[in-house]
Chains A and B, each alone.
Chain A
């Protein structure tokens, strides 16, 4: 158990809908990262928050947004869902600012299926 908690574990939704994925980082970790894993693309970095502030952005679509709250939990909002958004979404956390010099721990993921 990495200590990173993600909910829900599985969800099925229809095209055009909106979903929210939730993440609680490990105790004491200030950085939260969101990654998308699909069969053809592998693990793709989406976005990072550090202590409530957006710090780095990757290949995140405009239909997706995220935030980190004062209690450090984070939410990833996916809207106008398309079939191609079906993937495993991982949250990860680390104590420090970024990947360099910090161990990043991953949660178990939220499996999203868009039908």
Chain B
């Protein structure tokens, strides 16, 4: 079983829809949770960064962490065709020389 599980998709939605992307994880010691967006053949770009449980909002993006369920989500409101990309969740243990553990990514397609 992988440490971080993520549905690969593709997830197809019409423009303007609310998108929900999710990851589950097995290691309860993870403390830092991130969402990266990756366009085809490009480097991952950090979208959201959350420490421990709770919600964080940035523009059209909202990240949620539920540590009791080992479940994290990214919501995208008013989705745009430019949001079409692969979304990767990533997480890490506490401070120090700890690596990022990534999900395999969910491919999102937003049609005009």
User: Which residues of A pack against B, CB within 8 Å?
Assistant: 2, 4, 33, 42-43, 45, 48, 50, 55-56, 58, 88, 90, 97-101, 103-109, 111
Q: Which residue of A lies closest to B104 (CB)?
A: A42
Q: How many inter-chain residue pairs (CB < 8 Å) link A and B? A: 71
Please classify how large the interface on chain B is, using the bins under 10, 10 to 19, 20 to 34, 35 or more: 20 to 34
Check B97 against A101 for contact (C-beta < 8 Å). Answer: no
Looking at the complex, which one of B41, B51, B103 makes contact with A42 (CB distance below 8 Å)? B103
Contacts of A43 in B (CB 8 A): 44, 88, 90, 102
Q: Which residue of B lies closest to A47 (CB)?
A: B99
CB within 8 Å for A106 and B100 given contacts A43-B88, A98-B95: no
A86 → B minimal CB distance (Å): 14
